[in-house]
Amino acid sequence: GLLVTTVAPAMEISYLCCARRDEVFRLTTRNERKEGLWLQRSKGSDDEITAWSSRLREAVGNCKKINAKAPTPIDKPRYLIKRKDGGRYTKNALDSAWQRVIKKAMTKGVELPPELLEEAKRDGARMIGNCVVIDGGFTFHDIKAKGYTDRKEHNAGHKSARMHSVYMRKPDLVKATK
C-alpha cells in the first residue's frame, strides 16, 4: 500500500508550492529548475516556479527516496514520487492512502518535526504523548489553501480575485472603529 512516508513529503510540497494533489504527483525530474521547482498548474491557473528553500529541497529529496530503486521505464517520465514499478500513483491509490492517513491522525495522532511540534503546542493542539491529534478531517486540497494563506505574495497562479478569496483562509486584520 501507499505509506504515510509517501504522503508526508507530498503534503510538504503541496504546502510550500500551494499545489493541488495531482500537480504534486505529476512532478517529474524535468520540473526541477536551477531557480526552483516548476509547477505546471491545472484548472486554468498559471504555471509558476517556486524558488528553492532548504525546506523545499528537503521535501523534493524525500520524494526521490520513495521507491528510489524503481526502474524508470524507457520513454516515460521520471516521477519525483513513484510507485515500485516507476509509474505514477493512481487517483484511487491516493484517495485510499489519504483516508488512512487522516484516520490515523484523528485516532492516534502524528509525529511532527520538533519545530512544527513546538508550534502546534503553542497553538493549543490536542496531544497524545508527542503526537498531534487532529479533530475533524480535512482534504489534501486544504493543504494548498493553508500554503496560500501563509504565503507572503498571494497569487499561486490565480487569475481572479474570486479565486484569491477561495484560497485565502486568514481573515483581514482591521482597526477598531474607534
Each residue of 65-78: pLDDT tens digit?
999 999 887 788 89
User: What does the chain come to in residues?
Assistant: 178
Judge whether residue 7 has pLDDT over 70. Answer: yes
* C-alpha to C-alpha distance for 112 and 130, rounded to whole angstroms: 8
Q: Which candidate, 99, 101, 109, 116, places its Cα nearest to that of 58?
A: 116
Give the SS3 label for residue 176: coil
Residue 155, exposed/middle/buried by CB under 10 A (0-12, 13-18, 19+)? middle
C-alpha cell at 164: 484569491
Which of 23-37, 59-73, 100-114, 153-167 tops mean pLDDT? 23-37
C-alpha cell at 146: 493553508
Entry pTM: 0.78
